[in-house]
Amino acid sequence: MSKQRQLDNLRADILAKNICPDLAAQATQLVMGDGNLNAEIVFIGEAPGKKEDEQGVPFVGASGKFLNEMLATAGLERADVYITNIVKYRPPKNRDPSKDEKQTFWPYLLRQLEIINPKVVITLGRHSMGYFLPGAVIGNIHGQPVDVTIDDDATYCLIPLYHPAAALYNGSLRQTLADDFMRVPEIIKKLA
Ligand code: URA
């Protein structure tokens, strides 16, 4: 079955199981993911914001524009990568996704990763990082690749990065994020 078909089935499954009904009730739509289904890199953010909720595409608002800039510093375009979020409905008033919401969506994120089958998973911010690396502190480990094995099953090379929204208006974090992005192609080359 094609990857697109498998992702469509995953989407249908989330809708049929009425995952996070309270979030679903107030969101415009489910925001599954965007980009190249054969990408070597999958980026995982937190949850859709207002623009993402309206358009059904992750990272299209201010953080998304900044993410595009960061991708360019690594010589990448959005069409080269796949982008998604741990929680796939917009939380009301852009609040942080709750532990329950993240936990409920986690198995679906893992299935999404299995379908795309990237070489590298890049978490953006602490919400998605925390599920791959419980207890990790982003300030200590950002930009450093680490192999993670999930449920004794799939192993991914994970690179935890700061969330673009955190770096957008903070000069020093912005530089840190740009430096980390610039190192991504080198990390991938070493894996090949
Ligand atoms: N922030 C996220 O974490 N995800 C989006 O899709 C947009 C902003």
Q: How many residues does the chain have?
A: 192
Residue 13 and residue 9: Cα distance in Å, rounded?
6
CATH no., domain 3-191: 3.40.470.10
The domains of the chain are located at 3-191
pLDDT digits (tens, 9 = 90+) for 3-36: 999 999 999 999 999 999 999 999 999 999 999 9
Burial class (CB in 10 A: 0-12, 13-18, 19+), 137: exposed
pLDDT digits (tens, 9 = 90+) for 88-139: 999 999 899 999 999 999 999 999 999 999 999 999 999 999 999 999 999 9
**Percentage of the chain exceeding pLDDT 90:** 92
CA 47 to ligand 1 centroid distance, Å: 5
Give me the numbers of helices (H) and strands (E) for the chain, helices first please: 9, 6
CA 85 to ligand 1 centroid distance, Å: 7
CA 165 to ligand 1 centroid distance, Å: 8
Tokens 């198995």, residue?
A: 107
Determine which helix (DSSP H) or strand (DSSP E) holds 104, and give its type and residue range: helix 99-116
